[in-house]
Structure 1
Amino acid sequence: MKFRFAAAAVATFAAGLVFAQTPMPTPNPVPAAADAAPAVVATPPAPVPSTSTAWILMDYATGQVLAGENIHEQVAPASITKVMTSYVVAAEIKNGKVGLDDQVMMSERAWREGGAGTDGSYSGFPVNQTARLEEMEKGMAVQSGNDAAIALAEHVAGSQEAFASLMNSYAAKIGMKNSNFVNAHGLTAEGHYSTAYDLALLGRALVRDFPETYAYNKIKEFTVGSITQPNRNLLLWRDQSVDGIKTGHTSAAGYCLLSSAQRGDQRLIAAVMGGSSEKQRADDSLALLNWGFRFFETHRLYEAGKVVTSQKIWKGKADQVELGVSQPLLVSLPRGRYNDLKPSMDVPKVLEAPIAAGQQIGTVKVTLDGQVVAQAPLVAVSAVEEAGFFKRLWDAFWMWWESE
C-alpha cells in the first residue's frame, strides 16, 4: 500500500517538475526548408569609421549593441544635444506644461548667444518677436538653430540653466548614465558631455516616446522669413530609409551624426562621433546602417500577456499557474541563426498560492552559442487564489510526503 502511495507521489512530483527541468521548445518555430540549409557563414566585422573617436550601432527594438568602439567614452555631443532638448520639450507638452501653439519669444539672450551674429547655426527668428512653439522647434531640429534651442529652453523652464536641470532629469530616466548637459544647444561648455551609447539610447527614446516630434528630423528644409536652410543630415538625400536624427559639429567635438533608418519592420540607430568632415560622418554612418541591416535580424520571441508555460501550484483554487512575460521579448541576432536559439526557464520547484497577477515567478532566458542574448522575468498571467482549508490541508500532506 505504501509503495502505491510512494509511486503516486513520485508521479505527481515528476509532473510538477517537467516544465522546470525540460527546456522550452524554440519560440515561434520556423518551418524547415525542403532542402538542407547552407552552412552558416560568420558575420564579417562592422565597417569601422575611418576617423571617428567613438561610434556605435544599436538595434532599436531590443537596445542591443551590434557593434561599436569607445561607446562609453565621454565626448562633446555638439548639436546632437538638441535631440535632448526636443525630448524635454515633447515631454513637457505631454505633461501639459506647454503647448504646440504657445508663442515663444526670441529673447535678446537667445539672439545674441545663438543668432546670426554668432559662429554657430541659427534659425533666423527675429529678436524680441514670438513664433509658435512648433515652428520654433522645427527651426531647431531642421536648421539646428542655436537661437531656437535657447528660446525654447527659456519658454519651458524660465532660463537655459533651469532647462539644463530638466535635461539631466530626463536623461537619467532614459538611462543615460554617462551624460551631463549644461545648455540646450550643444556649443562647447565645461561639464557638457555624453557618450555614443547614451546618445543612441536618446535617439531610441525619442522615436519610441514621441514619434510626432521625431518626425521633424526628416524634414529636408525649413524656411523662416526669407531664409530657407537645408537639413544638415546628408543621409536624408542618400537613402530613403533614413528618417533622422541629428548632426553636430564644433571644433572640440568634430563632425558627429546620430542617425536612424527603418527597413521593413527593423530599425537601427547609429552614432558616429568626432569625424573629420560632413561627408565622412555620412559615409561611415550609412556603411554601419547597411552592414546592420544586411547581417542582423530582429525577432519577437514571446508576446506580452501570452502563456509561455504552466506550472504546478499547491494550496490554490487552481492546480496550475500560467506564466508569461509582461513586455514583448525580442532578440537581435545574426541572420540565419534563429533556429540555433536555445530557450530555458529558471522557476522555483515548489510554488504555493496565493499568487497575484503580474507577480514575478522566475526568468526565461534565450542563449546563442552559450551566450545569453535575451532574458525577461516570468510573471503570473492571472492570479491563483488560496484554496479552502481542506484543500490546503490535503496539499500540505502531499508536499510533506514528497519531501521525504
Structure 2
Amino acid sequence: MKIGYLFLVFFLGLANSASSKAVKPNKSLSPSSSSALSLDSKQAILIDLTTNDVLLEKNADEKMTPSSMSKILTTYLVFAELKSGRLKMTDTFPVSEVAWRKSGSKMFLKINTKVSIEDLLRGAIIQSGNDACIALAEGIAGSEEAFAAQMTQVAHEMGASHSNFVNSTGWPDANHYATARDLALIAWKLIKEYPEYYALYGEREFTYNNIHQMNRNPLLASFEGADGLKTGGTDDGGFGLVGSAVQGGRRLMMVINGADSKKKRAVDAKALMAWGFNNFLSPCLYKKNQMIDQAEVWLGDQSKVGLSVTRDVCITIPRQNIKNLKVDLIYNGPVEAPVQAGQQVGVLVISMPDKPDMIVPVVATQSIGKAGFFSRIGAAFTYLLKGHN
C-alpha cells in the first residue's frame, strides 16, 4: 500500500500541489509587528475571532491600568447571575451611600432607592456609571470588595491570569491592573457566553433620572459593524478602549490603552479596526461534516469512502498571501476495509506563507465493510495482473 495524495483546488480557483514536507502541529498566526501600523496607544492587541489569530500586538502583556474597561468583567459576572436564573432583569438592588457618593462617571442614582438590574446594567455599560457598578457589586456579593475578589477569581479561571481587580469600577489602585491580552479574552468570553445580553453594549444612549448620556465608545458612531464594548480613561493609565466589530460575518476584537487623549484613542481604534479588516481575510475552507473528497477502498463492500472534517476549517491570512495558499489531502491509499464512520484516515495540510502548517484530521463519512470472499479473490487477482494506482 503506497502513500496516496489527493490534490484539492481552493474555492478561489488556486491549484494546490502535493507536499512531501513533514507534518507539523498547527500553531497560531505569528503576531505581526506593531510597526505595521503607527499607534499612539502604548498597549494594543487585535484578534480575529474566527480563528483566534493575533493580527497585531504592542506591549499586549504589559501590566496596565484598565480603568473603566474593568466594567466588562463586572457585567460578565452580572450576566452569569442572569443566565443562571438566580437574578432577573426586573429584580432591584438598593443604592447605598457608598454607591451614591462615588465620584467619577455616574448614572446619578439616588441614595436609598431601589433600581432594576436592567437599568443598572445600562448605567454601567452606556453611561459608565461607577455608582451603578457598586450597586450591582453590593447587590450580588454584599460588598464591592467581595465582588472584586470574585472578579479576579473568574478572570483567572478563564485564563486572564495576569490581571487583578480590587474594585468593580476600574477606579485607580496600584493593585488593580490588567493586560491588553487579558481584557480581550474577558470581552470575547462575554460575547461568546452571553450573546443575549451583549446587545446592551451596542446601545448608543440612555436616560436615567432625567439625565441623558451618550455611549462613550467612538466606534459605535464611526465604524461599520461596531457593536461594543467599553472605553476607559485615567490620569495614570491614559485613554483606552476595548472594541469589537463584525463585517461579512467576521468579528475582530481590539484593545488599546495609554493614548494621550480621547481624540487619539478614537483615531487609533478606527485605524486599527480598518487595518485588520482591510489587510486580512478569514475564509472557512470547509464546513464541519462536509464531504471534501472520496478515497478508494481496498477489499471493501464499497469501492469508495467519503472524506470529511469534524470541524469548520477556517484560516486567517494576509490578503496579499491568499494566492499562495495550498491545501493537500494526504492519506494512506487505498484505504483498507473495514472502515468505521468517523475513523481518521488522513490529514489536510494547509500551507500559508510565514506560518506553520495547519494539520486537520480527515475522517471517513460512512462505514465500509469487507468485501465477500470471492470479491476479495477477484480484487487480489486484478491487482496482481494490473497493479493498483
Q: Do the aligned partners of 1:100 and 1:134 also contact (CA within 8 Å) in 2?
A: yes
Q: What residue identity is the alignment partner of 2:350?
A: V
Residues 270-327 of structure 1: CA deviation (Å, up to 9, x unaligned): 2111111111111111111122222222211111122345567899987876553333
In the TM superposition, residue 354 of structure 1 has moved relative to its aligned partner by 7.6
Q: Residue 83 of structure 1 corresponds to which residue in structure 2?
A: 72
Q: TM-score, normalised by structure 2?
A: 0.78
* Unaligned segments of structure 2, at least 5 residues: 16-32, 381-389
Q: TM-score, normalised by structure 1?
A: 0.76
SS in 1 for 2:201: helix
Q: Residue 36 of structure 2 corresponds to which residue in structure 1?
A: 46
Residue among 185, 189, 192 paired with 1:208: 192
Indicate whether 1:260 and 2:244 are aligned.
yes
Indicate whether 1:97 and 2:86 are aligned.
yes
In the TM superposition, residue 79 of structure 1 has moved relative to its aligned partner by 0.9
Structure 1 distance, partners of 2:364, 2:175, is 46
In the TM superposition, residue 152 of structure 1 has moved relative to its aligned partner by 1.8
Residues 178-214 of structure 1: CA deviation (Å, up to 9, x unaligned): 3333332211234332221222233333333323322
Q: Do the aligned partners of 1:360 and 1:378 also contact (CA within 8 Å) in 2?
A: yes
Q: Residue 387 of structure 2 corresponds to which residue in structure 1?
A: none
SS in 2 for 1:372: coil
Structure 2 distance, partners of 1:178, 1:319, is 55
In the TM superposition, residue 372 of structure 1 has moved relative to its aligned partner by 2.9
In the TM superposition, residue 77 of structure 1 has moved relative to its aligned partner by 1.1
Structure 2 distance, partners of 1:346, 1:224, is 62
Indicate whether 1:137 and 2:121 are aligned.
yes
In the TM superposition, residue 148 of structure 1 has moved relative to its aligned partner by 1.3
SS in 2 for 1:371: coil
Structure 1 distance, partners of 2:112, 2:369, is 68
Residue among 210, 215, 223 paired with 1:239: 223
Structure 1 distance, partners of 2:346, 2:59, is 34
Q: What residue identity is the alignment partner of 2:361?
A: L
Residues 316-374 of structure 1: CA deviation (Å, up to 9, x unaligned): 987876553333222222224323212245767888868574x766653422125237x
Residue among 66, 69, 76 paired with 2:55: 66
Across the two proteins, how many residue pairs are aligned to each other? 362
Q: Do the aligned partners of 2:254 and 2:273 also contact (CA within 8 Å) in 1?
A: yes
Q: Do the aligned partners of 2:291 and 2:365 also contact (CA within 8 Å) in 1?
A: no
Structure 1 distance, partners of 2:217, 2:183, is 16
Q: Residue 384 of structure 2 corresponds to which residue in structure 1?
A: none
Indicate whether 1:296 and 2:285 are aligned.
no
Indicate whether 1:191 and 2:175 are aligned.
yes
Structure 2 distance, partners of 1:347, 1:177, is 41
In the TM superposition, residue 256 of structure 1 has moved relative to its aligned partner by 0.8
Q: Residue 4 of structure 1 corresponds to which residue in structure 2?
A: none
Report the CA distance shift for 1:163/1:381 in structure 2 as closer, same or farther (over 3 A).
farther
Q: Out of 57-66 and 375-384, give the one that drifted further.
A: 375-384
Q: Out of 166-175 and 205-214, give the one that drifted further.
A: 166-175
In the TM superposition, residue 95 of structure 1 has moved relative to its aligned partner by 2.2
Indicate whether 1:221 and 2:228 are aligned.
no
Structure 1 distance, partners of 2:326, 2:353, is 9
Q: Residue 25 of structure 1 corresponds to which residue in structure 2?
A: 8
Q: Do the aligned partners of 2:327 and 2:351 also contact (CA within 8 Å) in 1?
A: yes
Q: Mapping of 1:361-376 within 5 angstroms?
A: 363-372=347-356, 375=358
Residue among 41, 44, 55 paired with 1:55: 44
Report the CA distance shift for 1:85/1:311 in structure 2 as closer, same or farther (over 3 A).
farther
Report the CA distance shift for 1:122/1:25 in structure 2 as closer, same or farther (over 3 A).
same
Indicate whether 1:250 and 2:239 are aligned.
no
Q: What residue identity is the alignment partner of 1:276?
A: D
Percent identical across equivalent pairs? Answer: 33
Report the CA distance shift for 1:242/1:105 in structure 2 as closer, same or farther (over 3 A).
same
Q: What residue identity is the alignment partner of 1:222?
A: F
Q: Residue 265 of structure 2 corresponds to which residue in structure 1?
A: 281
Q: What residue identity is the alignment partner of 2:89?
A: L
Indicate whether 1:378 and 2:361 are aligned.
yes
Residue among 122, 125, 145 paired with 2:106: 122
Q: Do the aligned partners of 1:307 and 1:381 also contact (CA within 8 Å) in 2?
A: no
Q: Do the aligned partners of 1:98 and 1:156 also contact (CA within 8 Å) in 2?
A: no
Report the CA distance shift for 1:348/1:290 in structure 2 as closer, same or farther (over 3 A).
same
Q: Residue 30 of structure 2 corresponds to which residue in structure 1?
A: none
In the TM superposition, residue 143 of structure 1 has moved relative to its aligned partner by 0.7
Structure 2 distance, partners of 1:181, 1:383, is 51
Q: Do the aligned partners of 1:46 and 1:291 also contact (CA within 8 Å) in 2?
A: no
Superposed CA RMSD: 3.6
Q: Out of 246-255 and 161-170, give the one that drifted further.
A: 161-170
Structure 2 distance, partners of 1:84, 1:92, is 13
Report the CA distance shift for 1:148/1:346 in structure 2 as closer, same or farther (over 3 A).
farther
Structure 2 distance, partners of 1:45, 1:150, is 40
